[in-house]
Structure formats: C-alpha cells, structure tokens
Amino acid sequence: MDADVVEDQKDLKKRVLSLPGPFTAVRRLVRSFSSTRRPSSQVAQEVMIKLQAVGIGSVVQCVFFKELPNVVNSNQVAACGFTQQEYKTAFLSTDEKVTIAQQEVIMCAHPKRQTVEDHVSTETLQPVLVYPFVLSTCGIQESGVKVERTAANGVALATAEMCRLQNAKASALHHRISTVLFHSGAKHDDLIRLNCLGVSMSPKQMVRPQSEMGKQLEGKVNVWESQIEGRKGAQLLLQEIKMKQVPDRMETDMGIVTEVQVHKNTVLGYNNFTPQGHEYLLREMEVAKQRKGESTCTDEIQ
C-alpha cells in the first residue's frame, strides 16, 4: 500500500478517535465506513439514517451546510429552500464559530431550542467543525477538494437527508429533495429505496409534475399559435373582402359609403376563408363598430 495512503488512514483514525464521548456512535460509524469500498450513495444513506436514529441530526446539518458551497453549486442549495442572502451569510462564512443563520438551522430542526448552547455544548461542537465526518463519508475528505463524479450522488443524498431533518412534514420540501436527487443522477433503484424510507417521492411521482408542467406549456403554445393563425387569417380575409366588395374609386368620385357583407354564407366561398379567421374578423369588426357608433359594416370600418 502507498505510504501516503497509510499516513492518511492513520490521520483519519486519529481524528475520529479524538471525538468526544457524545459522538461514540459517530466514531463507530465513520471508522467502519472509512474502510469500505461501497458506493458513496449507499454509505451516505446508511450514515444519515443512523445519525438520525441517535438524535444528532441537527448538529450534522449545521456542519454539513457550512461546507456545502465547496461541493454543491448554488442552484442545488437554492433547491433546498435557502435564499441567496442566507447562502452568503451561513455558507460563505470563514468563522469557525456557528453563525446566526446556522443557529436558525438548528432551531428549525428543534423549535424548542433557543440557542446553540441549549442544544449542544461548544466543546462538543468544535471537533465536528474541525472534522466534517459527513463530507468524509461521502468521499470528500476536506473542504475545497474537487468532487469526483462517483461522490456526487452521495453528496446529493446526504443533502436530501439533512433537508428532511429540518421539516419532515412539509410536502413542498419533498419536492425539493426529489428535485435535487433527480437532477444529481440518482439511480432508479436508489430512488425507490428512498421513497420506501420516506425521504423522497417515488420516480413516477417525480416525473408526473414535470409532465403536467409540459402539458400546460404545450397548451399555452397551442393557444398562442391559434391566436396568430386567427389574426393572420382575418387579415387575408379582410383584404379579399375589400377587393371583391369595395369598388375602386377615383379622386374625383364622391365619398359614398359602401356596405360590406361579412356573414359566413357570403364569404364562405372566398379563397382566404377559415373558421378561425372569420371569427376573429367578426370580433374585431364589432369592436370597431362600437368605437365608431355604427350599426352596419362599411368600408370605413375596415
């Protein structure tokens, strides 16, 4: 084995064993998972489920989101329900202490807690800030390290779990979690397992709203296209009516008003007649008659 790898493993073991007493379960988890070669998504899923079971999820999410911008882009952060201001305040802070925004994250998970000190002591939180074990389990040892393609799904999976810890009952949150997983390349089988665990929607439920959105957009396009065709057909029909029903006049002719016939039976045989164009023309001519105070259709209205 390479000497650098051995040294890294020794350093990892030392940092894990240095975690305080309340994190005994975490110490066992990281130590057991660090030596495995299983897919990062599976590791992240098991770690987050076990962390949730031991009741320290809020601390985990606080630490994870502090490091999140270096591994997940801002669009994925926004999909988790955070504003740009919250993103800049909480996630781009270089201070090792917990920021106000991070306190709010913990309070969202535990509304009865008023401050971070009410939830966990500073001595307990500091080792976790130094060693973000969730990121390490997902395949990222330190903040700022480039994410490998094999670790991307694990990061998305852990992100989804932490989002769920904030509010397990919000249906809109499930849509955001599912969106992050869906666009991060999670496998179909993994999505089914997560749905059985209550983490996200099923694959069919993920696709259904997108299909409905596509239908709505398609319907709007059809309406827009129909309006364009009706307007164009009305213009062509009006030009043909003017050409066939209104005689050409010389400058010396008297200004005699000519009544035109726009009934369907009259213009049905015209070359440019279409039902949509004719209906559009009738509506526009009614508006023009009301504006001019006329009771019949004349060439002046046209």
- Contact criterion met (CB below 8 Å) for 221 and 199: no
pLDDT digit string (tens) for the chain, length 302 residues: 456 555 654 554 454 445 444 334 444 444 444 444 444 444 444 544 544 444 444 333 333 333 333 333 444 334 334 444 444 443 333 333 333 333 333 333 333 434 434 434 444 444 444 444 444 444 444 445 555 554 444 544 555 555 555 555 555 666 767 777 777 777 888 888 777 766 777 888 877 777 777 777 777 777 788 788 888 888 888 888 888 877 776 665 566 666 777 778 888 888 888 888 888 888 888 877 777 776 666 555 55
Output the pLDDT for position 67. Answer: 35
Would you state the pLDDT for residue 251? 63
CB 270 within 8 A of CB 244: yes
Query: Helix, strand, or coil here: 261?
Result: coil
Q: Output the CA–CA distances (angstroms, integers) from residue 111 to 60, 167, 299, in the order listed.
A: 17, 11, 74
- The token duo for 215 is 């239908």
Give the start-to-end residue ranges of the domains of the chain: 3-123, 127-201, 218-244+259-292
Cβ atoms of 157 and 180 closer than 8 Å? no
Report residue 156 as tokens: 């998305």
Closest CA to 66 of 118, 143, 119: 143
pTM here is 0.30
